[in-house]
Structure 1
Amino acid sequence: MATFLLACFLLCLLLHLLLGRLLLRCSSALPLPPGPFNFPILGSLPLIGPKHHSGLARLSRRFGPIMYLKMGMRNAIVVSSPSAARIFLKTLDSHFSSRPQGIISKALAYDGRDMVFADYGLNWKLLRRISSLHLLGPKAMAGWADVRRDEVSRMLLSIRSLGESHKAVVLPNLLVRTMANVIGRIALSQRVFDEEGKEAKDFKEMVMELLVGTGTSNMGDLVPALRWLDPLGTRKKMWRIHDRFDVMLTRLLAKHAATAWERQGKPDFLDLLAADGAAGRDEEHISEETIKAFIADLFVAGTDTSAIVIEWAMAEMLRKPSILRRAQEEIEGVVGRHRLLEESDIPNLPYLQAICKETLRLHPPTPLSIPHFASEPCEAGGYRIPGKSWLLVNIWAIGRDADLWTNPLEFDPERFLSGEMARVEPNGSDFELIPFGAGRRMCAGKQMGMVMMQYSLGSLVHSFDWSLQEGAGEIDMEERPGLVLPKAVPLSALATPRLATTAYAAV
């Protein structure tokens, strides 16, 4: 009897093992997503080209909306449709909540201590909670409205002065200065740049060198064996920018500490950040490097990205003056010509909102999402996704998909006023338009970005008539690729004041 029971037990154990192996083989038999040829060491990089967003879009048209390839030695999944983006950023959100660590996260983010590049964990959750409570949430945004109004008004005065002197306005320079001063006053109670001088110019160049000069093509991150060689000089350049940023941040933080007595009873964001961090548990302690990383995030993500989108919008309207005139007529019908635009006017300006959405569709500030990182192997869309894969969402390709958008290369705000796309909002729920991403790693500054874009662009359109300089020719619409997507040639235009003198005098 004992022998019979032992034999039954061994048979059951054998069947269990065989069944387990069969299930394992079945699960591993799922195919990888289709994709292009991968060369040794370099993977598919030679097939992509220098403009990753457009090169990957071209390959996705051949291999499909979920594509597998090698970026150097790294496994990468590239997503190029709303339905595929929904699978990865909503259904499988928890699998792709972390970031791959590379030279940018080490140099800019002080070894991943910020909110953009940090792994999904306690530090990220703490920063996200504090920023939502004191900086980027609706209540906090309303509390800083006066700062935004004052800095935009200062920008308009600068433009008016240039216009009266018949001097061209280099829009991205003014916009970056304005955004940096908004962030500086909210976070540190200080204007970063008093005027457009060498310091402001150096800051813009430093940020652009960082955002444009790097991307998913850093060879040291993609081919770890080449990291020590630094063949393109990226590592050296990033640490040089880190040192320049660190000097600036150290100066700003020292000035902030020296003026603490002036803020008694009226703390700024940095005061609240430090207080919340000090009150947290030991594992939630906010170090000086964490503070620097977070402030660097604000300056980098909150200056050029907003300025880039506004510059593209103005460029598109200068190419199509009828759109500019209609926007002016809409704002004038609500605001008139005897006062400046206010943020409270924006809900009554659907055409202005449509212009902003159309710009985000055609010219997303980040054409490829900041890479997500697969924490473990999973299945998506009937395909096997290897663990530790990078996930890239091609936001640029989704916005230009001919199967999704009518005349996708045409700048047409009307598409967001009627028809199927009128319902679409860039809030992370409508995957046809996700310039800020989606899921738990969606850009925390989405609301601030939208407010600053709509308010600044509306103010520029309402306050001035715009024209190109005589003999300027057509506007160059070439992109300068990188982590962000600015115009290759900065937009320069003439501005003529169009409001009553009393409106400007009230600034």
Structure 2
Amino acid sequence: MLDISNYVFFFFTLVTILLSCLVYILTRHSHNPKCANLPPGPKGWPVVGNLLQFARSGKQFFEYVDEMRNIYGPIFTLKMGIRTMIIISDANLAHQALIERGAQFATRPAETPTRKIFSSSDITVHSAMYGPVWRSLRRNMVQNMLCSNRLKEFGSIRKSAIDKLVEKIKSEAKENDGLVWVLRNARFAAFCILLDMCFGVKMEEESIEKMDQMMTEILTAVDPRIHDYLPILTPFYFKERKNSLELRRKLVQFVVGFIEKRRLAIRNLGSDKTASSFAYLDTLFDLRVDGRETSPSDEDLVTLCSEFLNAGTDTTGTAIEWGIAELISNPKIQSRLYDEIKSTVGDDRTVEEKDLNKMVFLQAFVKELLRRHPPTYFTLTHGVTEPTNLAGYDIPVGANVEFYLPGISEDPKIWSKPEKFDPDRFITGGEDADLTGVAGVKMMPFGIGRRICPGLGMAVVHVELMLSRMVQEFEWSSYPPESQVDFTGKLVFAVVMKNPLRARVKARV
């Protein structure tokens, strides 16, 4: 969300203090507080707002938000340079905004200058403004790629990737006295699944690793920087902008090669046995987006493919890491999950997708995993299409509306003992949660409403299938032996374990 080191602030403070009076005078009329009754929040400095207070706190952004909500309540305002951030951490307010008044809260604020570099135009699903372009792109993705019937067609791709994951874990464990890195292996398997779904062409492992590296570099590059909040500092970041432009150029050049390979494969599907019969790219080549006269350009295709890959790789990988961590910390839960798997599929075959719906405890485990360890602490930023009101406060156009997920999924008014990892709350405890939020908001790991993650169903299948196979094949324990798992998290692209999980595995007989 926001990662700014203290030393950076000492640099720009000298600049901003000298200019603050001038800028404040020039902007005070356009930012007259009498024009808006914003939610409460800490009083900030002119121009920089609360940026310095955040930096001096020494906290990660989500920790700072958690501290502020304890002071100002479930809806409050942070002024971060030119940005007004309205933070919401209440289930009822989230339902009011995103379900009851979904159209009003369905847009996105303007993209940061750095992020725009990696989006050649407005042709993007996750950050497009609410309107006909976004509707066309989302409809295409959901109907042609993420509906249940289409997802079933990719079953063989998932099986192949997870078989390779199991073999990779076995190989790594053999070479390292039973020790494996959980996140690295899990996210690579997720990436390979999405890569095949997206391009539908055979890639060498070297190309897969290069693509993965590029996607990771992009996520790092688009993470907000201080000049995204204080544009006056943009000239000091010319080198960073130059590097981002070069990274985008290399990405386009690399990915277009596989786009062309897919075009050729479509023409030769009958003879090219290495190509998949269907891929996401196939739906994009001749797509007519509402409001545009031409189909997406190659640069547009690179953008759409990049977001498809990035959206489901790290979120799935981190879910697996947190899931294995909980299984290690709760051996009885691990044994119970293994027993359910064994009773469902027997001893003579591996878990298949058709088995998932029969495994009640597995489903409860994954739901509790998403409650206790959501993929990120915030939904993607929302914005309003017109000035509106929520909880008696004004929500202006252009404000960043942020939904803080732990404030909901760990709310003691909603959940019994929310700090406890307890899958049985969904089986015998009488607690439940609709992940879509339509029936009421208790947790929203994929967002809710019109901008809910379109890959929700796919993500749950990936997590359930990967975890069930990993538990079926291996017994997981801590390293060093008898040590306690450190559940401290940090927000990178997703919420990862601050200390990456290295676990000991033992192949089951």
- Please report the TM-score for the alignment, with normalisation by the length of structure 2: 0.84
Distance 1:117 1:281, change over 3 A: closer
| Distance in 2 of aligned mates of 1:414 and 1:210 | 39
Equivalent residues in 2 for 1:181-220, closer than 5 Å = 181-192=192-203, 194=205, 203-204=211-212, 206-211=214-219, 215=223, 217-220=224-227
| Distance in 2 of aligned mates of 1:267 and 1:401 | 43
- Aligned residue for 1:339? 349
Determine helix, strand or coil for the equivalent of 1:496.
Answer: strand
| Distance in 1 of aligned mates of 2:400 and 2:257 | 36
Determine helix, strand or coil for the equivalent of 1:276.
Answer: coil
- Aligned residue for 2:108? 99
Offset at residue 247 of structure 1 (A): 3.9
CA RMSD of aligned residues (A): 2.7
- Aligned residue for 1:319? 329
Q: Identity, % of aligned pairs? A: 26
| Distance in 1 of aligned mates of 2:124 and 2:153 | 24
| Distance in 2 of aligned mates of 1:110 and 1:170 | 36
Offset at residue 410 of structure 1 (A): 2.4
- Aligned residue for 2:262? 256
Equivalent residues in 2 for 1:143-222, closer than 5 Å = 143-165=153-175, 166-192=177-203, 194=205, 203-204=211-212, 206-211=214-219, 215=223, 217-222=224-229
Offset at residue 337 of structure 1 (A): 2.2
More off after superposition, 290-299 vs 86-95: 86-95
User: Which residue among 282, 286, 305 is the counterpart of 1:271?
Assistant: 282
| Distance in 2 of aligned mates of 1:467 and 1:134 | 41
Offset at residue 86 of structure 1 (A): 0.9
- Aligned residue for 2:42? 36
| Distance in 2 of aligned mates of 1:210 and 1:282 | 27
Offset at residue 454 of structure 1 (A): 0.8
Determine helix, strand or coil for the equivalent of 1:275.
Answer: coil
- Aligned residue for 1:108? 118
Deviations 1:214-243 (CA, angstroms, capped at 9, x unpaired): 54x532222232233339x76456445434
Determine helix, strand or coil for the equivalent of 2:286.
Answer: helix
- Aligned residue for 1:350? 360
Residue 62 of structure 2 aligns with an amino acid whose one-letter code is: H
Deviations 1:55-86 (CA, angstroms, capped at 9, x unpaired): 21221122111212212221221110110111
User: Which residue among 91, 94, 97 is the counterpart of 1:88?
Assistant: 97
Deviations 1:371-429 (CA, angstroms, capped at 9, x unpaired): 112222111122222222110000132222233323322222222223342x3132232
| Distance in 1 of aligned mates of 2:217 and 2:499 | 15
| Distance in 1 of aligned mates of 2:359 and 2:130 | 38
- Aligned residue for 2:435? 426
Offset at residue 104 of structure 1 (A): 5.2
| Distance in 2 of aligned mates of 1:275 and 1:167 | 49
Distance 1:234 1:84, change over 3 A: farther
Distance 1:95 1:284, change over 3 A: farther
Residue 189 of structure 1 aligns with an amino acid whose one-letter code is: G
Determine helix, strand or coil for the equivalent of 1:228.
Answer: helix
Report whether the alignment pairs 1:397 with 2:407.
yes
Distance 1:431 1:193, change over 3 A: farther
Determine helix, strand or coil for the equivalent of 1:230.
Answer: helix
4+ aligned runs moved over 6 Å, structure 1: none
| Distance in 2 of aligned mates of 1:478 and 1:400 | 16
Distance 1:471 1:289, change over 3 A: same
Long gaps (5+) in structure 1: 1-27, 500-507
Determine helix, strand or coil for the equivalent of 1:253.
Answer: helix
Residue 91 of structure 1 aligns with an amino acid whose one-letter code is: E
User: Which residue among 362, 366, 389 is the counterpart of 2:372?
Assistant: 362
Determine helix, strand or coil for the equivalent of 1:373.
Answer: coil
User: Which residue among 455, 469, 476 is the counterpart of 2:465?
Assistant: 455
Contact persistence 2:376–2:445 (CA under 8 A): yes
Deviations 1:153-190 (CA, angstroms, capped at 9, x unpaired): 22122223334554422222222221222112222112
- Aligned residue for 2:3? none
Residue 329 of structure 2 aligns with an amino acid whose one-letter code is: R
Offset at residue 336 of structure 1 (A): 1.8
Residue 426 of structure 1 aligns with an amino acid whose one-letter code is: L
| Distance in 1 of aligned mates of 2:281 and 2:411 | 42
Residue 65 of structure 1 aligns with an amino acid whose one-letter code is: P
| Distance in 2 of aligned mates of 1:98 and 1:297 | 17
Aligned residues, how many? Answer: 465
Offset at residue 306 of structure 1 (A): 0.7
| Distance in 1 of aligned mates of 2:400 and 2:170 | 47
Deviations 1:228-286 (CA, angstroms, capped at 9, x unpaired): 3339x7645644543443343223223323433332594432123213349x7744632
Contact persistence 1:105–1:112 (CA under 8 A): no
Larger Rg, first or second structure (1 or 2)? 1
| Distance in 2 of aligned mates of 1:433 and 1:220 | 33
| Distance in 1 of aligned mates of 2:286 and 2:173 | 45
More off after superposition, 118-127 vs 439-448: 118-127
- Aligned residue for 1:230? 237
More off after superposition, 476-485 vs 126-135: 476-485
| Distance in 2 of aligned mates of 1:306 and 1:104 | 25
Contact persistence 1:181–1:192 (CA under 8 A): no
Distance 1:270 1:209, change over 3 A: closer
Residue 476 of structure 1 aligns with an amino acid whose one-letter code is: D
Distance 1:205 1:273, change over 3 A: closer
Offset at residue 200 of structure 1 (A): 5.2
- Aligned residue for 2:302? 292
| Distance in 2 of aligned mates of 1:211 and 1:416 | 34
| Distance in 2 of aligned mates of 1:350 and 1:469 | 30
More off after superposition, 358-367 vs 261-270: 261-270
- Please report the TM-score for the alignment, with normalisation by the length of structure 1: 0.84
- Aligned residue for 2:274? none
Contact persistence 2:285–2:295 (CA under 8 A): no
Offset at residue 36 of structure 1 (A): 1.7
| Distance in 2 of aligned mates of 1:53 and 1:229 | 27
Contact persistence 1:105–1:111 (CA under 8 A): no
Residue 223 of structure 1 aligns with an amino acid whose one-letter code is: L
Residue 115 of structure 1 aligns with an amino acid whose one-letter code is: V
Determine helix, strand or coil for the equivalent of 1:384.
Answer: strand
Residue 48 of structure 2 aligns with an amino acid whose one-letter code is: L
Offset at residue 191 of structure 1 (A): 4.6
Contact persistence 1:369–1:392 (CA under 8 A): yes
Distance 1:362 1:104, change over 3 A: farther
